[in-house]
Amino acid sequence: MCATCGCGIDHEHSLDELHDHSGGHEHDHDHDHDHGDHDHGHESADSVDGRIITLEQDVLRRNDHLAQHNREWLSRRGLVAVNFVSSPGSGKTSLLENVIRRDEGRGRIAVIQGDQATDRDAERVRAAGARAVQLNTGTGCHLDAQMVARALEELAPEPGTLVAIENIGNLVCPALFDLGEQARLALMSVPEGADKPLKYPYMFRGASLVVLNKIDLLPHVEFDVGFFRDCLRQVNPDVSCLEVSATRGDGLSELMEWLAALCAPASAEGETA
C-alpha cells in the first residue's frame, strides 16, 4: 500500500471495512423518519480519511522495520545495496548495463530488477554479465522492503558484492519506501526538464547521489544545467551530482569510483566479521 497514490489498496473494499466496523446501526426503512433530525451515525469523510491514513502509517512503519532487517542482513555479509530511482526512460537499465560491463565480469555486481511486468530489463543486465532477480509488482508503482528481502534470499550475493536495486520508474512513491539500502542514487535525464528537483523534492532530498544522464543530448534539447543544479541545491544542498552519458561513457569512471568508495568499508567489515 502506498501513502501517496494508494497502489495496492482496494479503496472501495477499505471504505466498506471502515463502515462495517464503525459501530453503525441498522435502519428500519418501513417506518417514516425525520431525516433532518435523525443522526444516522455514519462516519464523516474526515473520520474515514483519518483511519485510512493511520492504516497507511502502519504499513510504512512495518516496511521500515523490515528495511532495517535488510540493512542488517546486508551489513553482516559485507554487502552494499544501492537503490536506483528515476522516472521511466531516464536510463537506469542502460546505466547499469555499462557499470556491469566496466566490472569486467568480476561478478561484483548483482541486480534486483523491479518492473510492473516482463523480465526484459533483467535479461538485459544478465546479458551484460550480472546475476539478476526479477520482481514484478503488477499494479504497484514501487518496490518495498519485503519484496527486496525475498529477492536477496534468492540472489544470495557473495561478500563484497554491490547489490543494485533498480526500482520502478516513478519519482513519487519509491521516495517513501526504505528498502534497506545503504545509498539511494537518483537518476535524471536531460529531456525531462531542469526543474524536476523542485517538482519532486522528496525524491531528490533523500538522494545520496544525483546522476544527470543523457548529457550527449544537451545540444538537441532545451536544458539549463546551471538551473538544474540550482534547483537541486534548494532541496538537497550537500548532494553530489555527476553528469554522465550512459551510452557514450561520459562520467562513468567517476560513478565507478563513487560506487567503489561506497563498497569498500562494507567489504572490509564483512571480511572481519
190-229, pLDDT tens digit by residue? 999 999 999 999 999 999 999 999 999 999 999 999 999 9
Mean pLDDT of 226-248: 98
107-131, pLDDT tens digit by residue? 799 999 999 999 999 999 999 999 9
| Main-chain dihedrals φ then ψ at residue 188, nearest 5 degrees | -135, 150
What's the pLDDT score for residue 240? 98
Q: Beta strands of the chain (E only): which ranges?
A: 80-85, 109-115, 131-136, 162-166, 183-189, 209-213, 240-243
pLDDT bucket at 59, cuts 50 / 70 / 90: confident
Q: Please state the CATH superfamily assignment of the domain spanning residues 61-272 in this structure.
A: P-loop containing nucleotide triphosphate hydrolases (3.40.50.300)
Please state the pTM of the whole predicted model. Answer: 0.81
Mean pLDDT of 229-254: 97
What's the pLDDT score for residue 227? 98
Residue 62 has pLDDT above 90, yes or no: yes
pLDDT bucket at 267, cuts 50 / 70 / 90: low
Strand order in the sheet with 80-85: 131-136, 109-115, 162-166, 80-85, 183-189, 209-213, 240-243
Side-chain-side CA neighbours of 27 within 13 Å: the count stands at 12
Chain centroid, CA 189 distance in Å: 17
CA distance 219 to 247: 16
Q: Are 121 and 166 a contacting pair, CB within 8 Å?
A: yes
pLDDT bucket at 57, cuts 50 / 70 / 90: confident
Percentage helix, strand, coil for the chain under 3-state DSSP, each rounded to 5: 45, 15, 40
What's the pLDDT score for residue 53? 67
DSSP 190-214: GGG-TTHHHHSHHHHHT-SEEEEE-
Beta strand pairing status for 131-136 and 109-115? parallel
81-101, pLDDT tens digit by residue? 999 999 999 999 999 999 999
Q: What is the mean pLDDT of the chain?
A: 85
